[in-house]
Amino acid sequence: MEAMAYLVLARKYRPQTFDEVVGQEHVVRTLKNAIRLGRLAHALLFSGIRGVGKTTIARILAKAINCEQGPTDDPCNTCSACREITEGRAVDIQEIDAASNRGIDEIRELRENVKFRPARLRNKVYIIDEAHMLTREAFNALLKTLEEPPPHVHFILATTEPQKIPVTILSRCQRYEFRRLPWSRLVEHLQNICEKEGVPIEREALEIIAREAEGSVRDALSLLDQAISSGVQTRNELLDLFGLADNLLLEEIARAILARDLPKCFSVLQQAFEQGLDLVYFAQDLTEFFRNLLVLKNSSGRVILDLPESELAVLRTLSLEAETEELLLLFQILLSGLETVRRSPVPKLSLELALARACEVGKIVPLEELFAKIEELKKQAPLVGQGNGQPTLEEPPARETSDVSWKDFISRVREASPPLGALLETLDPPVEKDGRLLLRVPEGSILEEKTYREKLATLAHKHLGRNIEIEILSQAGSSPLRQKLIEKPIVQEALKILGGRVAQVKLYEKE
């Protein structure tokens, strides 16, 4: 029953003209142009995931070059040529399914028949679906034909795996890459269809269908068909029907992971299990959730995720609760957990193990917070390492360049020489000693070279407003000051008290 319903929607709304195609604007534009200019290639390769319109566009193309009113980029769909093609009974348009057993025979026949003129139409069109499934023998036969295609013949190879097509074939095809439909376009498309069908399904439910379809129009329509035939109207009914994870559960378990609350993780998982969710999908959704957190954490405010605003808001809030390195580790653990869950005869136990591992990941504390805690601790009890001649963190290692701050100086150098400026940014601030600037550079730095040193000295003279000599101290190890900071007893002590390790060292300038 469901399969029937699926055919109904996908067929009913199959685009019959280029303008009806949803998405793939780049492909449609190029093809329409080629038709208008009479420069359509004889061999075309359509690649992209399933259900994004490859065969649909191939059929429209067949009509475009055979329409009695054409060739035209807008086939009439009423002439006998157009109608025969739409109804799949045009003898000159042949669709070959390379995945079927008949594939080889059909290619052989094709090689025989290709030289004859079309029986009824202006052009013969061979649409080879799943072209990557052709055997070597079939590819060879096809290659012979592609080497010298008769003027009245066009080949359209459609494939989900273009990398499996031999280079010899690829090089003779004009390539068109079909893209996944963006989530928001899919939602819009589904909503249009529901309106036309008079089906009252909540937008939130359609949003989930679009999410699950992952950019495939056909998959989305197939899910919509199932939803309609099951009488689903609300988001919750839809989640029930497909056994999908409710985002609330995902959010809850993600929060528990970020809080390293293992008992909570287990209880949410148990809940998902009792609701009958497919735990492999649940694990996958959870991994994607952390992947999205990571992306968002590093996108500095730009929205680069094609997700509903409500989901983005949740992700944004949660991404503030963890450091990048932490999210990266959690993502890694969940991803390898997901691989195990997929293969496991007891997915629930495997997922529990992954959750336990995730909860073991140490909290990463930003340095600002670490320093604040140290200050707090120092007020309570004196720390080892204080008062025995060790400088405390408040004291700068030595007097820094006065008048113009190091940061300002770098930005001026940047204006004069961007590469030099960028190079300075990687270094620790210099120390001024007896009218000389001591600048520590890693071994082998180009700053050791005379020309650069002189250039820097000239700039220093100009911007620091006095005669100043620059001394370059070459040192092994990229960042001595940073290393020194980490080795300080006070930092070591803090690590001991707070538990953890140093992920990153940031240098702050003293005002």
- Residues lying near Zn ion in the complex (CB under 5 A) are found at 67, 75-76, 79, 82
Residue 68 beta carbon to Zn ion: minimum distance, rounded to whole angstroms? 5
What's 246's DSSP letter? P
**Angle, CA 477 vertex, CA 472 and CA 478 arms, to 5°:** 70
Listed in sequence order, the residues at least 6 apart from 2 whose beta carbon sits closer than 8 Å to its beta carbon are 225, 226, 229
Residue 317 beta carbon to Zn ion: minimum distance, rounded to whole angstroms? 55
Sign of the dihedral through C-alpha 85, 89, 93, 98: positive
The backbone torsions φ and ψ at residue 499, rounded to the nearest 5 degrees and listed phi first, read 80, 135
Please state, as a whole number, how many other Cβ atoms lie within 10 Å of the Cβ of residue 81. 25
Please identify, using beta-carbon distances, which residue of 78 and 483 lies nearer to Zn ion. 78
The Cα–Cα gap between 435 and 468 comes to: 6
Please identify, using beta-carbon distances, which residue of 19 and 137 lies nearer to Zn ion. 19
Please identify, using beta-carbon distances, which residue of 40 and 201 lies nearer to Zn ion. 40
Residue 74 beta carbon to Zn ion: minimum distance, rounded to whole angstroms? 9
Please identify, using beta-carbon distances, which residue of 55 and 72 lies nearer to Zn ion. 72
The pairs formed by 324-330 with CB atoms below 8 angstroms and a separation of 24 or more are 324/294, 324/297, 324/298, 325/364, 325/503, 325/504, 326/361, 326/363, 326/364, 327/290, 327/293, 327/294, 327/297, 328/294, 329/361, 330/257, 330/258, 330/290, 330/358, 330/361
Please identify, using beta-carbon distances, which residue of 31 and 45 lies nearer to Zn ion. 31
Residue 62 beta carbon to Zn ion: minimum distance, rounded to whole angstroms? 11
Q: Which amino acid is at 33?
A: N
Residue 86 beta carbon to Zn ion: minimum distance, rounded to whole angstroms? 10
What's 38's DSSP letter? T
Please identify, using beta-carbon distances, which residue of 76 and 438 lies nearer to Zn ion. 76
Residue 126 beta carbon to Zn ion: minimum distance, rounded to whole angstroms? 20
DSSP 445-461: -GGGSHHHHHHHHHHHH
Please identify, using beta-carbon distances, which residue of 75 and 162 lies nearer to Zn ion. 75
Residue carrying the six token digits 């290709």? 114
Alpha-carbon distances of 453 from 403, 437, 438, 460, rounded to whole Å: 21, 12, 12, 10
Residue 72 beta carbon to Zn ion: minimum distance, rounded to whole angstroms? 8
C-alpha torsion angle, residues 311, 317, 318, 319 (rounded to 10): 100
Please identify, using beta-carbon distances, which residue of 80 and 184 lies nearer to Zn ion. 80
Residue 69 beta carbon to Zn ion: minimum distance, rounded to whole angstroms? 5
Assign 469 to helix, strand or coil: strand
